Amino acid sequence: MTATASETTLDVPVDVRFTPAGNPLAVRYNGRIWAVMAEPVHWFTRDAWWDTRRTAAVGSGDLVSVEYWRVQVGLASNSALRTFRLRRDPLSSQWHLESITDGYRQR
């Protein structure tokens, strides 16, 4: 079954609550708490450090790994799911909601 998807691109700070195992549990966005309703997908990409000209002292940490989570969320157990793509930049503790997709593909 395939549903039509509509994506909205954003870049807004959000609060993310994690389970003790380190998986996203809920996302606070736009004054609402969105519960994670399906298994999240986790990956990393590399930042183009040569374009950002970011510098740091030796031993300050990873300057190039951008962390992502793709989570399917809902406001209630019977609500339609939305897909949030979350991003955390190198050396940052702040998560950003990069995009929202309405509709989803179920395999």
Q: List, for residues 7-62, the tens digit of each pLDDT value.
A: 788 899 999 999 999 999 999 999 999 999 999 999 999 877 667 666 666 766 67
* Structural domain range at position 50: 6-102
Helix or strand (DSSP H, E) at 17: strand 6-18
pTM, to two decimals: 0.80
Helix, strand and coil content of the chain, in percent to the nearest 5, comes to 5, 55, 45
How many domains is the chain built from? 1
What tokens appear for 35 in the block? Answer: 């519960």
pLDDT on residue 2: 46
pLDDT on residue 105: 46
Q: Is residue 1 part of a domain?
A: no
- Is there a contact between 34 and 84 (Cβ–Cβ < 8 Å)? yes
Q: Is residue 30 part of a domain?
A: yes
pLDDT on residue 88: 95
